[in-house]
Amino acid sequence: MPRLSEVIAALDTLWPPGHAEEWDAVGTVCGDPDRTVSRVLFAVDPVQEIAEEAVRLGADLLVTHHPLYLRGTTTVFAGTFKGRVVHTLIKNGVALYVAHTNADRADPGVSDALAGALSLRVTGPLVPDPTDQHGRRGLGRLCAVEPALSVRELAALAADRLPGTAQGIRVAGDPDALVRTVAVSGGSGDSLFDDVRAAGVDAFLTADLRHHPVSEAREQGPPALLDAAHWATEWPWCQLAAAQLDQVSERHGWGLRSHVSATVTDPWTAHAAQAPARPAQTVPVPGAAVAAAASDDASGAPN
Amino acid sequence: MPRLSEVIAALDTLWPPGHAEEWDAVGTVCGDPDRTVSRVLFAVDPVQEIAEEAVRLGADLLVTHHPLYLRGTTTVFAGTFKGRVVHTLIKNGVALYVAHTNADRADPGVSDALAGALSLRVTGPLVPDPTDQHGRRGLGRLCAVEPALSVRELAALAADRLPGTAQGIRVAGDPDALVRTVAVSGGSGDSLFDDVRAAGVDAFLTADLRHHPVSEAREQGPPALLDAAHWATEWPWCQLAAAQLDQVSERHGWGLRSHVSATVTDPWTAHAAQAPARPAQTVPVPGAAVAAAASDDASGAPN
Amino acid sequence: MPRLSEVIAALDTLWPPGHAEEWDAVGTVCGDPDRTVSRVLFAVDPVQEIAEEAVRLGADLLVTHHPLYLRGTTTVFAGTFKGRVVHTLIKNGVALYVAHTNADRADPGVSDALAGALSLRVTGPLVPDPTDQHGRRGLGRLCAVEPALSVRELAALAADRLPGTAQGIRVAGDPDALVRTVAVSGGSGDSLFDDVRAAGVDAFLTADLRHHPVSEAREQGPPALLDAAHWATEWPWCQLAAAQLDQVSERHGWGLRSHVSATVTDPWTAHAAQAPARPAQTVPVPGAAVAAAASDDASGAPN
Amino acid sequence: MPRLSEVIAALDTLWPPGHAEEWDAVGTVCGDPDRTVSRVLFAVDPVQEIAEEAVRLGADLLVTHHPLYLRGTTTVFAGTFKGRVVHTLIKNGVALYVAHTNADRADPGVSDALAGALSLRVTGPLVPDPTDQHGRRGLGRLCAVEPALSVRELAALAADRLPGTAQGIRVAGDPDALVRTVAVSGGSGDSLFDDVRAAGVDAFLTADLRHHPVSEAREQGPPALLDAAHWATEWPWCQLAAAQLDQVSERHGWGLRSHVSATVTDPWTAHAAQAPARPAQTVPVPGAAVAAAASDDASGAPN
Amino acid sequence: MPRLSEVIAALDTLWPPGHAEEWDAVGTVCGDPDRTVSRVLFAVDPVQEIAEEAVRLGADLLVTHHPLYLRGTTTVFAGTFKGRVVHTLIKNGVALYVAHTNADRADPGVSDALAGALSLRVTGPLVPDPTDQHGRRGLGRLCAVEPALSVRELAALAADRLPGTAQGIRVAGDPDALVRTVAVSGGSGDSLFDDVRAAGVDAFLTADLRHHPVSEAREQGPPALLDAAHWATEWPWCQLAAAQLDQVSERHGWGLRSHVSATVTDPWTAHAAQAPARPAQTVPVPGAAVAAAASDDASGAPN
Amino acid sequence: MPRLSEVIAALDTLWPPGHAEEWDAVGTVCGDPDRTVSRVLFAVDPVQEIAEEAVRLGADLLVTHHPLYLRGTTTVFAGTFKGRVVHTLIKNGVALYVAHTNADRADPGVSDALAGALSLRVTGPLVPDPTDQHGRRGLGRLCAVEPALSVRELAALAADRLPGTAQGIRVAGDPDALVRTVAVSGGSGDSLFDDVRAAGVDAFLTADLRHHPVSEAREQGPPALLDAAHWATEWPWCQLAAAQLDQVSERHGWGLRSHVSATVTDPWTAHAAQAPARPAQTVPVPGAAVAAAASDDASGAPN
């Protein structure tokens, strides 16, 4: 069985830390380089529930996509929720390794796995990494939709193929527009809007979109936007990453056992749908005179 | 009929520009101070669709909650979508006035209107303005829920009372937990998490929440989080604001006609729900060997 | 007749926006890209008087050298003097286009026009643009004075050939020194002093010079400095630019009518000359005792 | 006879270094604190010509308004013009002391002397120093003009009373407007435009004004602006300061001999007036075709 | 026996974290708030040797003066020496708590302990904390030396009373000068030179002084400087702190066992003295010609 | 005899100012470029004692390694100790020239001289200058120790060969470890620790090391660290530099007389050794109860 330092070297080859963004914090977060590793758990979020799952599973190594400490800390006190994770891992001999924007940029990477989950054919990166002469590394992926789907059908496909979450898929743009090409990006993709527009695709599937960027993007016209749960767009990478490590393990005869966590760490737990275009009731306001005035003079509420 | 400069002075009294955040851009964006005003339209977003609604309505003044230019511009060229709004307004003699974080902080303000829409009893501001000796101005509002509701019931109430949008209401936390007190904040409230926690409320209703802040907030325990469409949480303020201007108009005998736009400018147009905990299919990855490995070795997908 | 977007494309070719300084704000400030253009006015300053001249003239496009908004604005309210300009232009269908430091650097550019106004022979740029393989683009121009003139004569030439202003031409250095080579720079040239010294010319003609830079430059010896009104040094470019657009118009058969504004927008309206070296009278100071002391002990006033 | 350290203490009392702007560099620049002082020269600029005048005069101390090194230096090598001044002073035993923005703010200060030179009655500071309970210290001075003068007459008065320079007095605004109140500020006053406007005066007399601030100020309407040579507006202070030191000397029985330099260190040496509104000649441009086009199509040059 | 959280609360009362410098990182670094504490080790440096001593001793809590992570970290990987400390502590159930600049400022604090070790009478803080109405908190301490000692004798006293290190005590200044008053500061005190000079003391005892600050301080004259090993000046505080916690323990009946580490963590392990003023041999230089020239022309080497 | 400007040109060739660090301040600090130079003094520190030695010697030029003003100054007032140096030099016609980090990087440079003083064989720079194709310029030097010495013997060699100072040589690491390769760096070398570690040498000889960097370096294992007096590590360069200038002088037939100052400007004047591992006495603390508690409960003091 390999030592942790050997497994780290293999992971660093799959997702070179030097390919991460400058502000990112990737690599080994805790663990003893000399301990042996036999069981590995892959997950999106290094939260307490996942740390405990790793302990129950008897894993020696937890690989997550999200950093535990993106910004530096001067304490791992167990009275903080992140420190509690550190104590749980160290006391139980579980190492933690993070592959974040280096996994986003990798070939294959996070967005390849997202495209794969929807059976989309990847045609290249959305933002190519200029140092990759093969033109395959980079942020996001451009995909062909074959045969073409409507925006509504693409959303239904994403809802069907991605792991289920309470949030579902939100759509901005004409639901009946036809999508022949789509850009996909696991996680928060709003910083890529300019690249998406430049790529001329019909739609963009990503997560964590907010009112102002979406509103401004819509004012500028196509493409349509699809917003899934952040966790759901990155979970497929865990399967890809586990498979990649298994290949390495086989090559070296390490006999590692890889697992992908099935725990939903998307924080949304419920959803209340609204009837679109249902009339809002008259709005009571603090102060009766104002309220009265409001109900008389307003031109009518959206419905 | 009053001149625009007189109406501006009245609006500046309702929502003093000096109460806005330092980074904000409030007040008059375009318009001629000497023109008379007889018809006013209130809306959340200064987008092209709203500008054209103002023109069709014959409005002389459009009052929006969101700034057109939050960051400074050196051009209003009509080849840009914001410049198109400026041209539409100026050519048709429609002034634009913005009340943003000064309306958030006002008494009554944006979060009062949001609380009013849900018939919640406001007990005070979430972040009191230290310069207000009455203790009523400030960001967000603390409210009593009487009688108490479960988180699920509160979400259903919000879905019912707020104008309908494709996104609906997302919930993080135990849906069956009881809510006796709730903080509400129109628009993006994630910067207020520390204040919400310090206030010791059972739930927080706001908008535009993203994975990482919500995940970290949930790791720290209560309160539950409810996330509605950004636009929907601020639209009730338009009715309140229109009523406030009507009162001013009556007091001065101006005879203004106030309208609230019923146009939904929330950019989400459709939603595809997911079955929570539905199993994800095996993830095909680029490269057959990896895909094969992935399907063999992964410990199982979330369902 | 061309649409505005076509004329903009032509102007962008003459003075590529990418050649402007990073801090500059050039290009189209207002206007509708789809409107046709038949009459164009060129001027130095986008002030209200010029905007009204454009309206009176029936111009569809105003091209100025100075930006209207060099720093970003969040308002074009007509209660501000710049917003008044924007309203005047938009309401009357006049577009505004700015060519500033990109016109300074162009070949031919602002300093070529200045040199041309004085019949100086341009020998090259003062600060060559390293990306121009022809060695003709850049800031300022180096010129031969043929036959050589005294500094005083060069000032008289500038006074004679540049449009008349109240400020006239100020000279620093020995008026009788001989000038065989001169650097010229339209507008404020004090940031170019090091380049001028390095070029080894006998004189530098520019505008907007202040006490400290001039005093320090003089302490370092030659060259002589000539300071004309900022506006006067840039006005010749309007004629050049109009001629350039006329050529484009002819080539495309657009039939544009180009005009150069004759309005003096230099703000100085009068000048009171002083007898150089005239004795100053005793200076009364607040407080009689001090004044008395002052008049007794001072060694004598300049005359 | 006093030692230099005693004279410095007296000057620090007249113009406390702590009252200077944070960016300023005031106080003693060179000199030996233990040497005795018998003769003092006051001047505006610490240039080589003034240093040599101090040596010829046998002065032990030179007091100037402008700093020699406003920004820090790491060398006083005599191969630089400022280092040459330092060597001249130190080799000849002349100390240098600077009173700059602390003298601007003092009571009486630089602008009092400027007002005194024009026999204007000072009514208070333009920008009062909040730490002065008497309300007399601060930047600039507000003055009554009794009897009222036209702008043109005020400019003529300044031309007559201030030491003569080649630049004379430039005027922006209506020369015939009546001036009952005027703000004055020795040196570069363009940072005070907002205060001047707020003060509601009819005119502002200062120096070193440039095109853009003046143009923008004029677009906003009154007051009129008068621009004299920077040096000329500050020279009257030398007489005031010399008188103040004489008073101190008498009080202590020091027997100091004070002198005010009559050397004109304004760098402008000549001026070529222009006939306002004289027609500019057709502008030859590089490239015959363009020049031809230019002369045909331009609508006419300013005259 | 108390829980860790209770002991932390007591330590936070002795050395309030809010009294630390803004750049400092004090408080709990690792540990589980719910574990009980029975044995505590105090030391200066949180290095591996000390962590292992804590484990051997069976300590539940290690209190150090120096932070483990002064700047934030994103990893505690045991492949780094600091991460190794974290793993050692967490695996063995040892918490780590830091009191750094808050202990420096406390009453009694680090410099009180240093003064006490030399039997100096403390007369007050060197830099009083303005928020302490008793005038006892602050950085450094001013002390009376009774009876007065020479600088040489004071150095000998420090060498005798402080724990022994290879570096010993360095002295700058006249060894025979008399010291009646001395400032002391545990750790690196060079940022306090201005305060020491202002206090007018005869000597300053601190640590970690470097050439340039000492050289510049000596050029300005007294006081003499004494430089001990950084660790040695702070070790006495460990005894003081242990005694303080014992008092708290007694008051609460906690029965804590406090220990002070006797391990020398000063990194210097040996010292080679030099004969002061011993002649240096001729310096061979690379390149024979240069070396020859050097030995001929140099005026003589220090001895 | 050469003029100062000619000698400066020669020194600039030996140590090109462009090779200095960006933050450094090298070159000529004072002096008249036109004066002739016949006698030159080399020293490490430009302090008053050295300036007076230069005057006594009749030197026309003082060359030092350390800058007088590393950060810019706005005054050379003789009431400051650096201004006193400037006055002494200028009054006595002595120029000052600084070669600092450009001399560190030069070939041969400061660390070559240090290596030469210990008869170490230089094998290359520690941090090679990428612009030097010969691979000899750069910071620090790597050296072979032939035959190998123990750390203790190397320290003794340094103590013997470097000019004697009160501080002697401090050693961190195992004194008996064998040293076959050593990095040396004149002056403060703690910023080079990473390079030293990367070079894989057995020891590093430099100066001005402080507790925290040394402690952290030691925690990471070898190499051993040797810390001499800052001044002593740079003094050998003075001999080298004098020899270099002598060569230049001979080549030009200038007849310069070069001298190296034998004055010890290391500020440490005495040293009190400690018996390593001597027991510290019980520490009296302010407050009897605390002191009592301290002496009872502490586990024992280092000895």
Task: Specify the CATH number for the domain of residue C66.
Answer: 3.40.1390.30
By the 10 Å C-beta count (0-12 exposed, 13-18 middle, 19+ buried), B207 is classed as buried
Q: Is residue C277 predicted with pLDDT exceeding 60?
A: no
Residue-wise pLDDT tens digits, A168-208: 999 999 999 999 999 999 999 999 999 999 999 999 999 99
Report if residue F273 sits inside a domain. no
Flag if E32 and A87 touch (Cβ within 8 Å): yes
Q: How much is the pLDDT for B276?
A: 65
pLDDT of B298 over the 70 cut: no
Q: In what order do the strands lie in the sheet with B121-128?
A: A268-272, B169-172, B224-228, B203-207, B178-188, B138-150, B121-128
CA separation (Å) from E199 to C111, E131, E181, E184, E206? 63, 20, 10, 12, 15
The answer to whether residues E99 and E111 belong to one domain is: no
Residues E283, F116: C-beta atoms closer than 8 Å: yes
Least confident range from B169-183, B264-278, C152-166: namely B264-278
User: What gap in Å lies between CA D93 and CA D96, rounded to an integer?
Assistant: 10
Tell me which residue has tokens 């530099």: F241
Question: Could you report the per-residue pLDDT of F229-250, keeping only the tens digit for each?
Answer: 999 999 999 999 999 999 999 9
Do D118 and D96 share a structural domain? Answer: no
User: Using CB atoms, which residue from D68, D79, D91 is nearest to F91?
Assistant: D91
Q: Which residues of chain B make contact with A203, given a CB cutoff of 8 A?
A: none
Query: What is the distance between the alpha carbons of residues E65 and E46, in angstroms, rounded to a whole number?
Result: 8
- Do B55 and B82 fall into the same domain? yes
C251, with CB counted inside 10 A (0-12, 13-18, 19+), is exposed
Q: Does F210 touch chain D (CB under 8 A)?
A: no
d(CA E225, CA E217): 9
Q: Which two tokens stand for residue D69?
A: 């090194």
Task: Identify the pLDDT of residue D285.
Answer: 41
Structure tokens at D269: 């040496």
Res. F75: pLDDT tops 70:
yes
- Distance (Å) from the alpha carbon of C144 to chain D's nearest alpha carbon: 14
HEC per residue, B216-283: HHHHCCCCEEEEECHHHHHHHHHHHHHHHHHHHHHHHCCCCEEEECCCCCCCEEEEECCCCCCCCCCC
Residue of A130, A96, A133, A128 whose CA lies nearest to A111: A128
Report CB contact under 8 Å: D164, C302.
yes
Report the phi/psi class of residue A173: left, alpha or beta, with left for phi > 0 and alpha for psi in -120 to 50. left
- Domain contains F133: yes
Q: Is F108 helix (H, G, I), strand (E, B) or coil?
A: coil
| F250 within a domain of the structure (yes/no) | yes
pLDDT at residue B241 greater than cutoff 50: yes
Question: Same structural domain for residues E16 and E80?
Answer: yes
Q: Are residues B138 and B190 in the same domain?
A: yes
CA A180 to chain centre: 23
Mean pLDDT of chain B: 92
Neighbouring C-beta atoms of residue B199, cutoff 10 Å? 18
Contact C33 B90 (CB under 8 A): no
pLDDT tens digits for D37-61? 999 999 999 999 999 999 999 999 9
Alpha helix segments (H runs only) across E132-263: 151-161, 193-199, 211-219, 230-252
By percentage, how much of chain B surpasses pLDDT 70?
91
Physical contact, B and F (3 or more Cβ pairs within 8 A): no
Inform me whether the pLDDT recorded for C54 exceeds 90. yes
Alpha carbon D42 to its chain's center = 14
The DSSP-derived string for D62-124 is EEESS-S-SS-BS---TTSHHHHHHHHHHHTT-EEEE--HHHHHSSS-HHHHHHHHTTPEEEE
Domain range for residue E171?
Answer: 106-228
Cβ distance of E112 and F286 shorter than 8 Å: yes
Mean pLDDT of D11-35: 98
**What confidence score (pLDDT) does residue B287 get?**
45
F208 token code pair: 């001005």
pLDDT digits (tens, 9 = 90+) for F99-125: 999 999 999 999 999 999 999 999 999
Q: Residues D242-287: pLDDT tens digits?
A: 999 999 999 999 999 999 999 999 999 999 999 865 444 434 444 4
CB-closest option in E28, E71, E75 to A28: E75
In contact, B120 and B185? CB cutoff 8 Å: no
Tens digits of residue pLDDT in A220-272 = 988 999 999 999 999 999 999 999 999 999 999 999 999 999 999 999 999 99
When scoring E34, E77, E97 by the number of chain A Cβ atoms within 10 A, the one with the most, hence best to mutate, is E77
By mean pLDDT, which of B94-103, C110-119, C282-291, F170-179 is the weakest? C282-291
Residue type (1 letter), D285: V
Q: What is the pLDDT of residue F297?
A: 37
Measured CA to CA, the distance from residue C238 to residue C255 in angstroms comes to 19
Comparing alpha-carbon positions, the chain D residue that sits nearest to C42 is D298
Establish if F301 belongs to a structural domain.
Answer: no
Contact B86 C76 (CB under 8 A): yes
Going by pLDDT thresholds of 50, 70 and 90, the confidence category of residue D221 is: confident
Whether residue C276 is contained in a domain is answered as no
Interface of F with D in 76-135 (CB under 8 A): 76-79, 83, 86-87, 90-91
User: What confidence tens digit (pLDDT) does each residue in A15-46 have?
Assistant: 999 999 999 999 999 999 999 999 999 999 99
Q: What is the CA radius of gyration of chain B?
A: 22
Whether the link from the prior residue into E130 is cis, omega within 30° of 0, is no
pLDDT of residue D303: 41
Amino acid at B136: R
Question: Which of D170, D205, D228 is a domain's end point?
Answer: D228
pLDDT of residue D277: 52
Query: C72-76, C93-97, D192-196, E220-224 — which is least confidently predicted?
Result: E220-224
Please write the tens of the pLDDT for every residue from E136-187: 999 999 999 999 999 999 999 999 999 999 999 999 999 999 999 999 999 9
Q: Bridge-partner residues for E179, per DSSP?
A: E149
Which of D22, D28, D37, D75 has the highest number of chain F CBs within 10 A, making it the mutation to test binding with F?
Answer: D75
DSSP-based three-state secondary structure for C138 = strand
B120: exposed, middle or buried (C-beta count within 10 Å: 0-12, 13-18, 19+)? Answer: buried
Task: Please report the pLDDT score of residue A275 as a whole number.
Answer: 82
pLDDT computed for residue B277 by the predictor: 53
| SS3 per residue for chain B | CCEHHHHHHHHHHHCCHHHCCCCCCCEEEECCCCCECCEEEEECCCCHHHHHHHHHHCCCEEEECCCCCCCCECCCCCCCHHHHHHHHHHHCCCEEEECCHHHHHCCCCHHHHHHHHCCCEEEEEEEECCCCCCCCCEEEEEEEEEEEEEHHHHHHHHHHHCCCCCCCEEEECCCCCEEEEEEEEEEECHHHHHHHHHHCCCEEEEECCCHHHHHHHHHCCCCEEEEECHHHHHHHHHHHHHHHHHHHHHHHCCCCEEEECCCCCCCEEEEECCCCCCCCCCCCCCCHHHHHHHHHHCCCCCC
- Considering only CB atoms, E90 lies closest to which of A5, A28, A87, namely A87
A257: closest chain B residue by CA: B297
In a domain, residue A157? The reply is: yes
Q: pLDDT at position B173, please? A: 96
Q: Which positions in chain B touch C5 (Cβ < 8 Å)?
A: 79
F117 and F206 in a single domain? The answer is: yes
**Identity of the residue numbered D75:** T
Q: Is E269 within the bounds of a domain?
A: no
Chain F (2-31) residues lying within 8 Å, Cβ to Cβ, of chain E: none
Q: What is the pLDDT of residues D117-135, one digit of tens each?
A: 999 999 999 999 999 999 9
Residue D18's region, left for phi above 0, alpha for psi from -120 to 50, else beta, is: alpha
Is the pLDDT reported for residue D24 higher than 60? yes
Q: What percent of chain C has pLDDT over 90?
A: 89
pLDDT band at B280 (very low <50, low <70, confident <90, very high): very low
Judgement on whether residues C110 and C90 belong to the same structural domain of the protein: no
Nearest to C75 among B28, B74, B75 (CB): B28
**Residue D132 shares a structural domain with residue D90:** no
Separation between Cα atoms, residue B145 and residue A269, nearest integer Å = 21
Burial class from Cβ neighbours inside 10 Å (0-12, 13-18, 19+) for residue E159 reads: buried
Task: Give the list of residues 6+ apart from residue F269 with CB closer than 8 angstroms, or none.
Answer: E171, E172, E173, E174, E175, F166
Taking 50 as the pLDDT cut, the residues of chain E under it are: 278-301, 303
Shared domain for D172 and D26, answered yes or no, is: no
Give chain C's mean pLDDT.
92
Chain E interface disruption, residue of A76, A80, A87, A96, most E CBs within 10 A: A76
Is residue E44 in a domain? yes
Note the pLDDT tens digit of each residue in B196-217: 999 999 999 999 999 999 999 9
CB contact, 8 Å: D276 with chain F?
A: no
Neighbours of chain F (3+ CB pairs under 8 A): D, E
Report strand pairing: C178-188 vs C224-228: unpaired
On chain B, the residues whose CB falls within 8 A of the CB of C32 are: 78, 87
Q: Is B104 annotated as a binding residue?
A: yes
DSSP-derived 3-state class of residue D138: strand
Phi first, then psi, for residue F162 (nearest 5°) are -85, 155
> Cβ contacts (< 8 Å) between D87 and chain F: which residues?
30, 32, 90
F35-62 mean pLDDT: 98
The residues with which A73 forms a beta bridge, in sequence order, are E73
Residues A244, A96 share a domain: yes
- The verdict on whether residue D230 carries a ligand-binding annotation is yes
Q: How confident is the model at residue B178 (pLDDT cuts 50, 70, 90)?
A: very high
| pLDDT, position D281 | 43
Same domain, C26 and C130: no
Q: Is the per-residue pLDDT at C297 higher than 50?
A: no
pLDDT at F276 over 90: no
What pLDDT does E303 receive?
41
On the 0-12 / 13-18 / 19+ scale of CB atoms within 10 A, D142 is buried
Chosen domain end from A204, A228, A252: A228
Contact (Cβ atoms closer than 8 angstroms) between residue B234 and residue A284: no
Q: Please give the model's pTM, rounded to 2 decimal places.
A: 0.91
Contact: B286, A122; criterion CB under 8 Å: yes
pLDDT of residue F234: 98
Asked whether the beta carbons of C177 and C201 are under 8 A apart, the reply is no
B71 in the same domain as B41: yes
State the pLDDT at residue C77.
98
Instruction: Give the count of domains, chain C.
Output: 2
| Tokens coding B115 | 């609380």
